[in-house]
Structure 1
Amino acid sequence: MTQQGVRWTADQVLALAPDAASRRAGGRLATAGPWSGTGSSGEGVVWGQCQGSGGRPYRTVVDIADVSGPAYTCGCPSNKVPCKHALGLLLLWAGGDEAAPEGEPPGWAEQWVSGRRTRAARRTVPGPPGSASRPGDPAAARRRAVQRAERVTAGATELEQRLADVLRGGLAEAERAGYGLWEETAARMVDAQAPGLASRVRELGSIPSSGGPDWPVRLLEECALLHLLGQGWLRRDRLPEELAATVRTRVGLPSAADGPAVRDHWLVLAQYDTADARLTTRRVWLHGTRTDRVALLLSYGAAGRAPELTLPVGLSLDAELSAYPGAVRQRAALGEQFAPPAPSGTRPKGVTASQAVAHYGRALRDDPWLESVPVTLERVVPVPDGDSWQLADAAEDTALPLTPAVGNRTGLWRLVALAGGAPVTVFGECGHRGFTPLTAWPDGPGSAVPLY
């Protein structure tokens, strides 16, 4: 980072934006016109004053050196984090030394930075012996776990009966019944404290109305997977431990990261958000440059608010990760961080299209409910395929279709423009619906380009 004299790219800055509107507004503030007193320090602080609609300019500060990700403050009334002024300031800083020259921060910026760093240091210092809260009663915790398992078992048994009734009545009857049938069943799974089953039931309910001549096939496939999950729960005592852990996770039981802490320099491969009416989920894919392992970090925010964890694509994080239980063990928890995230020019080693499909097949053997696996494709070319697109492998006569939703995103055109008809390296998620590209690198030297 700034300690190394390296500034972020514009793509890395824009990856911090909470939404598309903020990206556009931040881009309009990435010029020197509205700014005054801008600067940066070798300790990872960027500051400036932006003239807004009021009489006084907004004082904006970004602490880039925080190990948990950038922190921001701004005098504007926006509740978005980061606001458009913080984004514009960082874009200005990314443009070079002339826009935000290095120096000593002014008093108002130094006061905010030192205050928040002091508070952060206090949070990491352990309290005196005996000050920690006493653990709960282990016997009571076991009783609660047994009671919840009994409720989930009752819910899974009821779900099996519902699926049998649906198939006995025929899929056409399920279409006429509408979404209400599935929503009622999902509510019963929520009552049974099995949110994973409830989520999959809701997905079933959306299939008949999704259109397309193949919806009965997709509905039958999803019913089969849901039946398999229900049977896995009811027979979990007979399963291998890792598969049983996967079933517990898919049903929706909470779990803790129990794997050993693995320290590495973790390259941020991709970061993107998905949202529903209740929750925003942020997915961050990391690649260990030493271990060659790919891990997934999940963080959450209330509806309409972005999660706090922010790791722009192309940064490298010196940190420890611990894996969650399960057969595939993709998800991990972020542990101790030893340095602030810093830009990195490395990229993961890629595979061919056929190797990516084989990798997904092996993963399904361990987790049949896995939607996709993280894959880096090497030397592929985006080419049209009728009304859709595919990634043609330059090394073999194979291609991977892109997922249908990709055609509606601007990221596809960024990928096409980056490739320009030549091979590129692409990281994304490979699953039964196709390949979803998330990040790309040009063939030869060049920085990572986020596509999502």
Structure 2
Amino acid sequence: MNGTDGRRAERWTPDQVLALASDTSSREAGKGLATAARWSGTGSSGTAVWGSCAGGGSSPYRAVAETVGPAFGCSCPGRTSPCAHVLALLLLWAGGEVGPAAHGGGRPDWVTAWLDSRRARGERTERGGRGASGGDREAARRRAERRAERVAAGATELERRLADLLRGGLAGADREGYRPWEEMAARMVDAQAPGLATRVRELGALAGAGGDWPSRLLEETALLHLLARSCLRQEALPAPLAATVRSRVGFTVDSAELLAGPTVRDRWLVLARQDTADERLTTRRTWLYGEATGRAALLLSFGAAGRAPEPALPVGLGLDAELAFHPAARPLRAVLGPRHGAPLPGRVPPGVPVAAALDTYGQAVAGDPWLDAWPVVLAGVVPIPGGAGWQVADADGSDAVPVAAGGSGAGAGLWRLAAVSGGHPVTVFGELGHQGFRPCTAWAGTAAEPVPLTV
């Protein structure tokens, strides 16, 4: 628990940070304090983040957080946990404004003392003592109950607002601009439901976006209503589906907790890797395929804008490793655990015809209606350009699937795919969703050398 045991903190989003706030006043105060000018001596190492915030007195307040747990500490007199200073510190960290300490050498003594105290309490807990450990568990239980109540209240309010939206007619949903959507999203953040907030913002982006946007807005509104209703009726859902709902709403499971449970060891082939960036964060999506289990896995990692996230696994690599999957109706997202031996070059992954891929996608959506896309490997397919857009078709012409429009480097990637194919069947890995197939990596013939199609 000392923050230097080799674990690396998975960077949170600002919404996930604000969802930790115990009340609105702490949340707003934290946002107000989240300016780099107010902070000094900030740093991070392993799972620990720390810094000093200028206060009203002569001495700054010292704030520290351990992202595994999580756990928080601050020298301020506030009684809430996390306090506004810790929230502000984590917001700066989420935005990439708290840099790592060089090899842990820049960690202050007071941070080390706090981490050592946490470690000592953990050791006492392992020896069977109750005392403070029992109190910690009780406090965690109460926090979980309070959050569940806030999320339920937020889901109830969201249902009401969506009903008002439909009652007023979707055709006029763009008249007031984006402000009402952002207000609704902010209310979901206040309710500690960042997943609902994200989907509300996506609705706002659809309103007035051109084309048949009212139909698309109706579809997404129906899915969001289904998610809010499912959130309120989790106890009536099968456990795997309830886990999916919790994940979509914004509840997370700590990586260390996942790795402490069952893991899946396999030789994992790196199928694709893609980085997407905004002004604050870079998100890395790494797709893996288990050669023995036949399972697909998605690793998500985050880094400050301009910095490449970890892990940097080259496409085509094969690594003997353990993965721990997040609970879900169709487990897909995973965290990378221990590796065994040196990585080796991979091989061409086995694929299926278009019809089988569509059937697999349909089964995945049946288990998770909010699924955006599902990973598939198409074997023996040919890319075909056309006036209405590209398609990927079986070599015998029996079935085809449209290629999804848009995306980073989509045009260049399609021409690269056409060049790899040269009119001959190829193996293609990609993401299959309701808008079509998004190719990510191609293999020509039996050659194991992959050709990335995304940037």
Q: TM-score, normalised by structure 1?
A: 0.69
Which whole-Å CA distance do the structure 2 matches of 1:409 and 1:290 have between them?
34
Partner of 1:162: 161
Matching residue of 1:145: 144
Is 1:359 paired with 2:360? yes
Counterpart in the other structure of 2:220: 222
Confirm or deny: 8 A CA contact 2:316 2:448 kept in the other structure. no
SS in 1 for 2:329: coil
Question: Structure 1: how far apart are the matches of 2:188 and 2:396?
Answer: 48
CA deviation string 1:3-61 (max 9, x = no partner): xxxxxxxxxxxxxxxxxxxxxxxxxxxxxxxxxxxxxxxxxxxxxxxxxxxxxxxxxxx
CA separation of 1:142/1:187 partners in 2, compared to 1, >3 Å: closer, same or farther?
same
Q: Deviations over 1:387-443 (max 9, x none)?
A: 411101114521110001158432111111101111110000001010000000002
Structure 1 counterpart of 2:63? none
- Give the partner amino acid of 2:179: G
Distance change in 2, residues 1:374/1:408 (3 Å):
closer
Work out whether 1:188 is the aligned partner of 2:187: yes
1:245 alignment partner AA: A
Question: 1:446 Cα deviation (Å)?
Answer: 4.3
| Residue in structure 1 matched with residue 309 of structure 2 by the alignment | 307
The number of residue pairs the alignment matches comes to: 325
Q: Which runs of 5+ in 2 are unaligned?
A: 1-101, 104-114, 126-132
CA distance in 1, matches of 2:214, 2:323: 42
Moved more, 175-184 or 131-140: 131-140
Structure 1 unaligned residues grouped into runs of 5+? 1-114, 117-126
State the distance in 1 between where 2:373 and 2:120 align. 41
* CA distance in structure 1 between the aligned counterparts of 2:403 and 2:353, rounded to whole angstroms: 15
Amino acid at match of 1:222: E
- The aligned counterpart of 2:387 is 386
Q: Distance in 1 between matches of 2:286 and 2:411?
A: 19
Partner Cα separation in structure 1 for residue 167 and residue 376 of structure 2: 40
Whole-angstrom distance in 2 between the partners of 1:446 and 1:246:
35
Q: After superposition, what is the alpha-carbon deviation per residue over 1:96-123, rounded to whole angstroms, capped at 9, x for unaligned?
A: xxxxxxxxxxxxxxxxxxx99xxxxxxx
Q: Counterpart of 1:389 in structure 2: which amino acid? A: W
Contact 1:297 1:331 survives alignment (8 Å): yes
The match for 1:51 is: none
Matched, 1:404 2:402: no
Letter aligned with residue 306 of structure 1:
A
Q: In structure 1, how many angstroms separate the alpha carbons of the residues matched to 2:432 and 2:119?
A: 48
For 2:269, which of 236, 249, 267 is the aligned residue?
267
RMSD of aligned Cα (Å): 2.1
Q: Percent identity?
A: 60
Aligned AA for 2:182? Answer: E
Residue 211 of structure 1: aligned partner: 210
Match of 2:378 in 1: 377
Corresponding residue of 1:414 = 416
Counterpart of 1:295 in structure 2: which amino acid?
Answer: A
Q: Is the 8 A contact 2:348 2:448 kept in 1?
A: no
Q: In 2, Cα distance between the equivalents of 1:132 and 1:410?
A: 55
SS in 2 for 1:322: strand
Query: Paired residue for 1:251?
Result: 249
The 1:446–1:291 alpha-carbon spacing in structure 2 relative to 1, beyond 3 Å, is closer
1:224-259 CA distance string (max 9 Å, x none)? 000000000000111111100000000001114376
CA 1:380 to 1:131, structure 2 compared with 1: closer, same or farther past 3 Å? same
Paired residue secondary structure (1:281): strand
> Could you tell me which residue of structure 1 aligns to residue 450 of structure 2?
448
> Where does residue 435 of structure 2 map in the other structure?
433
Q: Which amino acid in 1 is paired with 2:420?
A: L
Deviations 1:187-239 (A, max 9, x none): 11111110100000000001123211x21110000000000000000001111
The equivalent residue for 1:60 is none
Paired residue type of 2:162? L
Work out whether residues 352 and 395 of structure 1, in 8 Å CA contact, stay in contact via their aligned partners in 2: no
Runs of 4+ in 1 over 4 A off after TM superposition: 130-133
Deviation at 1:302, TM superposition (A): 2.1
Alignment of 1:126-137 (within 5 A): 134=122, 137=136
SS at match of 1:228: helix
Read off the aligned partner of 2:437 and give its amino acid letter.
F
Q: Residue 308 of structure 1: CA displacement?
A: 2.1
Residue 178 (structure 1) shift: 1.5
Q: Distance in 2 between matches of 1:276 and 1:249?
A: 23
Distance in 2 between the 1:194 and 1:292 partners? 33
**Structure 1's 131 and 172: CA in aligned 2 closer, same or farther, altered over 3 A?**
closer
Aligned to 2:318: 316
Q: Is the alpha carbon distance of 1:342 and 1:209 closer, same or farther for their aligned partners in structure 2, counting shifts above 3 Å?
A: farther
User: How far apart, CA to CA, are the structure 2 residues paired with 1:147 and 1:387?
Assistant: 51
Q: What aligned pairs does 1:73-92 form with structure 2 within 5 A after superposition?
A: none
Residue identity opposite 2:339 in structure 1? Q
User: Among 238, 241, 249, which residue is 2:239 paired with?
Assistant: 241
DSSP 3-state at the match of 1:404? coil
Note if 1:200 corresponds to 2:202.
no
